[in-house]
Each structure stands twice: as structure tokens, then as C-alpha cells.
Amino acid sequence: MNVPHPPVTISEKASAVVQWNNLADEAERGATLGLIHPNTAEVQARVYRATARAIQHEIDTGIAVCSCCFKPFGQGSSVLIRN
């Protein structure tokens, strides 16, 4: 697979995990303060934390996974397509 950019370092990935978790916390605070609807904040926080978990999984295992289904990249729904 040809990656059009240099690989991201572990420290950059770790920083991204912190940033995604901070965004989740911010969404939850926004709901508490009445700045955003609680249901919207809940969904946002869930997506942000799933993204952080996926990046952390890549740091821990070296395997990049989808933040939605947590399957390794290239093994999602496209696996079901048969020629």
C-alpha cells in the first residue's frame, strides 16, 4: 500500500488520543452547561472516544482499526463482496 505521507509517530498518535478524549469531555461539558443538546453531546462524545480507542489500539498493537466497527482496515464490509 502506497501511503502519500510520512507515517505518524507514536507520540503524535498519543497526542491525538488525548485530543479526541478532550473533545469528548468538552462535548459533555457543553451539554451540562446547556450549550448543546444532551443527545447530540452523547453521540459526539461516543464517536470521539471511539476514535481515541481506535488510535490507542493502533499504538498498542500496531494494527489500525476502524473507529466505528473496530475491524482492521481492509477487513470491513468490503470483505463481503465476492467476485
Three-state DSSP at 20 gives helix
Cα(46)–Cα(73) distance, integer angstroms = 20
**DSSP-H helix ranges across the chain:** 10-32, 38-61
Can you give the pLDDT at residue 83? 45
Averages of pLDDT over each 10 residues, the chain, 83 residues: 78 97 98 95 97 97 93 68 48
Contact 36, 30 (CB under 8 A): yes
Q: Please list, in sequence order, all residues whose beta carbon lies within 8 angstroms of the beta carbon of residue 64, skipping any fewer than 6 positions away.
A: 54, 58, 72, 73
How is the chain split into domains, by residue range? 10-61
